[in-house]
Amino acid sequence: MAATSPDHLLALLTGTNLGPLVTAWASLATLLRHERCRAGGLRIGSGGFGPAGLLEVPLLLVSTTAALWVTG
């Protein structure tokens, strides 16, 4: 289904990349982001990822969906 349209592919990538932002163990990308924060001197406990993700994901989801809608 995603291969039939670039918009479908972008929507699929948006969903699969935003979902794991809520928990620290949901994806390798999130774990790598956590490691980069630690390497930069920024200490974020595991409890900080959930609340941050809960704030980020709705904003990012709405903005990317709006961008797909405008360009589609």
Length of the chain: 72
pLDDT, one tens digit per residue, over 22-59 is 766 667 777 787 788 889 998 877 677 778 778 888 88
* pLDDT score at 17: 74
* pLDDT score at 2: 61
Q: Is 18 left (phi over 0), alpha (psi -120 to 50) or beta?
A: alpha
Q: Is 43 left (phi over 0), alpha (psi -120 to 50) or beta?
A: beta
Q: What is the distance between the alpha carbons of residues 28 and 7, in angstroms, rounded to a whole number?
A: 25
Domain boundaries, the chain: 6-13+21-71
